[in-house]
Amino acid sequence: MDCELSQKISCNACYGSSVVFEAEGEPESPLIRKGRAVCLDCSQTMSIVESILEGLPKSDPQLDFWETHYSNEDQSVIIAALEKGFQNRRLLYAHYPIIRMIRKLTVPLESSIELGCGSGAFSLVLKKTGTVDKVTLLDYSRASLEAARSLFSHFGESCNLVHADIESAPFRRKTFDLSLSGGVIEHFRTEEERLDCLNAHLDIANRAFLQAPVSSPCYWLSRSLFSAYNRGWPFGFEKPVTFRELCKLAKRAGAEILDHDHQYFLSFPLFTRLHKLPKPGWYTWPFLNEIAIIASK
């Protein structure tokens, strides 16, 4: 984790921002491998171990699914797809709505935080294409952080890693230019939990990007084929969103949806050029697989 990030830390217990930061090791190094952050208000301590900021996440039954998934993940497919994408940017644009949408934003983005990063492919794409300079990845699954570390290291890139809950991320308000997540909000069960998830994105950064599977024939067909192939659905609770639902959540959060985009067919991790169907309408809706929004408050 880099020293710059230590300026953004807040206490994840009392949300106080009077945090003293102590790094152990080489004093001049811009990278901190070991150290701790202590809250002056409530004495809560967060340690940095093997460069990961330890934000003491809670345990939750869904966590087991992610630990198993990322402990066993074979990264060769995603690595091959990303290598192709970095050689041919058109494939990246076709596959990642985040790149298409951020290209349209005219503001420079220096820092981002991915909430529920998984193996961190979205942030890697932002970093590798020079779209964002400093990327931070947060997840409550250690296995996912290790997967992200290994993916970044394969592509010779660096990132900050944080082991924490999305709902109590240990950072000050609006300290990042962009917060993002892909495939996260649909794992929260109730409307209130989904609202908390959206609010966490909106609080921590000036702009929030969220991508999630959308309830459509294509989604349910690909989910049933995937379940048949794997003899069960391996991702625990997952309820796809609808655009109407995201609009309602944004309204409740007092946020504005600045832009939205779609992904057709089950394209992950196969890069497809088929995202450019005609303008979304009732006739393209059955093929929708994912929806993406950028919002701010």
Ligand X SMILES: C[S@@+](CC[C@H](N)C(=O)[O-])C[C@H]1O[C@@H](n2cnc3c(N)ncnc32)[C@H](O)[C@@H]1O
- What residues make contact with ligand X under the rule CB under 6 A? 66, 116, 118-119, 121-122, 139-141, 144, 165-167, 182-184, 187
The tokens describing 255, both together, are 């946020």
Which residues on adjacent β-strands are paired with residue 137?
114, 161
With tokens 């192709």, the residue in question is 84
HEC string for 116-163: CCCCCHHHHHHHHCCCCCEEEEEECCHHHHHHHHHHHHHCCCCCEEEE
Q: Which does 124 bind (CB under 5 to 8 A by kind): ligand X, Zn ion, none?
A: none
Q: Min. distance of Cβ 211 from ligand X in angstroms? A: 8
The residue (of 23 and 295) whose beta carbon lies closer to ligand X is 295
| Residue at token pair 């504005």 | 256
Interface residues with Zn ion (CB under 5 A)? 11, 13-14, 16, 39, 41-42, 44
187 vs 275 by CB, closer to ligand X? 187
Q: Which is nearer to ligand X, 40 or 225 (CB)?
A: 225
- Per partner kind, with CB cut-offs from 5 to 8 A, the member of Zn ion, ligand X, none near residue 121 is ligand X
Whether residue 210 contacts residue 185, with contact meaning beta carbons closer than 8 Å, is answered with yes
Query: Is 5 or 184 the residue whose CB approaches Zn ion more closely?
Result: 5
Q: How far apart are CA 167 and CA 162, in angstroms?
A: 13
Query: Residue 39 CB, nearest distance to ligand X (Å)?
Result: 20
Q: How far is the CB of 110 from ligand X (least distance, A)?
A: 22
CA distance 238 to 232: 13
